[in-house]
Amino acid sequence: MTELKNDSFLRALLRQPVERTPVWMMRQAGRYLPEYRKVREEAGSFIKLCTNPELACEVTLQPLRRFAFDAAILFSDILTVPDAMGLGLSFSEGEGPQFARPVASAADIHRLGIPDPETDLRYVMDAVRLIRRELNGRVPLIGFSGSPWTLATYMVEGGGSKTFRKVKALMYDEPALMHRLLEKLAEAVAAYLNAQIAAGAQAVMVFDTWGGMLTTEDYQAFSLHYASRVAELLKTDAEGRKVPKILFTKGGGLWLEAMTEAGFDALGLDWQTDIGRARACVGDKVALQGNMDPVALYAKPEVITEKVRTILEQYGSGPGHVFNLGHGILPDIDPEHVGAMVDAVHRFSPAYHQS
């Protein structure tokens, strides 16, 4: 593989010294970019875009042509694994993802197989290999998956939900059955991420989008436990260096102490979590990624610059910080405002890394 020219992102995740705080952005390949919208229209559908390795590579690289991000993230969807399990994924305009065959019984769970990433999800692995080749060592590539709990919510609900009534009913009424589903998903997610690493991903991220809607007790038993199981099963190194692992639980700021023990190298923070207090909580156990409010990118560039300065100041000096939003960028953000954020990180963060 080509030598990595900029490894500041990987070093920051491992709490190693860097010259400045690295920056990337969740959903950085997305609808806020007109060039993405053009490719999406040409593809004909979101699923066709995701399943075409050449197009997935193109949109992964698009933000790097505009902005000096320190990492690329694979363009894909968190629901590729349950789709490969045979649930029949589709996307309806304005309604989000839907499964034709949601999980509703013990028999449904029993029928679920563990997808073979190089056959059932070959299009993802081909995209990873192509992106790595096209990056040519410019920046690291992040692979990702949804967490077992988050995948389970979509699989049981049949799509998105505001109340999570069905998945919580299964969890409360038949906990053993829910654990059986989550065990399968932990195995499937780990196999999927390990295949991404083998194909060329240099860091991996687990998106626990819906962990924050659980009680503390249920979060630890049904979400964090299985995210930790994924971390335990992941490859620890590739190409002669460690592969960092990131866990992002939206709404997980209450559980940082428990999350530091889950086997990940870094924790993503949403915008509601104070990064200074989070650092004091986790100490030197993990790096932190985050956590600017995505809505702040609607503000004037000078306001965005001050928001960046505040977050850098709150984290303070020393290693272990990757600058990011506290959730994915919104689709109607002005790309110039993204540039203001990235420029501010580059301008002000070196002062926090002087030896």
pLDDT band at 3 (very low <50, low <70, confident <90, very high): confident
Asked if residue 12 has pLDDT above 80, the reply is yes
Asked if residue 264 has pLDDT above 80, the reply is yes
Helix pair angle (335-348, 301-315), 10° resolution? 40
Mean pLDDT, rounded, of the chain: 96
Mean pLDDT computed over 15-37: 97
pLDDT tens across 105-156, in order? Answer: 999 999 999 999 999 999 999 999 999 999 999 999 999 999 999 999 999 9
What would the two tokens of residue 275 be? 């990064």
Structure confidence at residue 92 (pLDDT): 74
Rounded-to-integer distance, Cα 264 and Cα 207, Å:
12
Structure confidence at residue 165 (pLDDT): 96
pLDDT band at 1 (very low <50, low <70, confident <90, very high): low
| pTM across the whole model | 0.97
Q: Check whether 277 is labelled as a binding-site residue.
A: no
Give residue 261's Cα distance to chain centre: 19
CB count within 10 Å of CB 119 equals 9
Instruction: Please determine, looking at this structure, whether the domain spanning 8-353 carries the CATH number 1.10.8.640.
Output: no
Find, among 236, 300, 298, the residue nearest to 263 by Cα: 236
111 is catalytic: no
The two beta strands, 241-242 and 237-238, are antiparallel
Mean pLDDT computed over 222-226: 98
Q: Check whether 110 is labelled as a binding-site residue.
A: no
122 is catalytic: no
CB count within 10 Å of CB 50 equals 23
Q: Which amino acid is at 315?
A: Y
The residues facing 92 across adjacent strands are 96
pLDDT tens across 315-340, in order? Answer: 999 999 999 999 999 999 999 999 99
Q: Check whether 347 is labelled as a binding-site residue.
A: no
245 contacts 206 by C-beta, under 8 angstroms: yes
Find, among 341, 347, 329, the residue nearest to 67 by Cα: 341
Rounded-to-integer distance, Cα 23 and Cα 339, Å:
11
* Catalytic position from the list 32, 154, 219, 315: 154
The two beta strands, 241-242 and 245-249, are unpaired
Phi first, then psi: give them for residue 144, nearest 5 degrees. -160, 165
Q: Check whether 27 is labelled as a binding-site residue.
A: yes
Find, among 31, 40, 28, the residue nearest to 66 by Cα: 28
Between CA 353 and CA 348, with CA 4 as vertex, the angle to 5 degrees is: 25
Mean pLDDT computed over 275-281: 98
3-state secondary structure string across 152-178? HHHHHHCECCCCCHHHHHHHHHCHHHH
* Catalytic position from the list 15, 20, 40, 229: 40
State percent of the chain over pLDDT 90.
96
pLDDT tens across 41-82, in order? Answer: 999 999 999 999 999 999 999 999 999 999 999 999 999 999
Asked if residue 95 has pLDDT above 90, the reply is no
> 3-class SS at 246?
strand
Domain boundaries, the chain: 8-353
Asked if residue 2 has pLDDT above 90, the reply is no
Mean pLDDT computed over 157-174: 95
Rounded-to-integer distance, Cα 318 and Cα 321, Å:
8
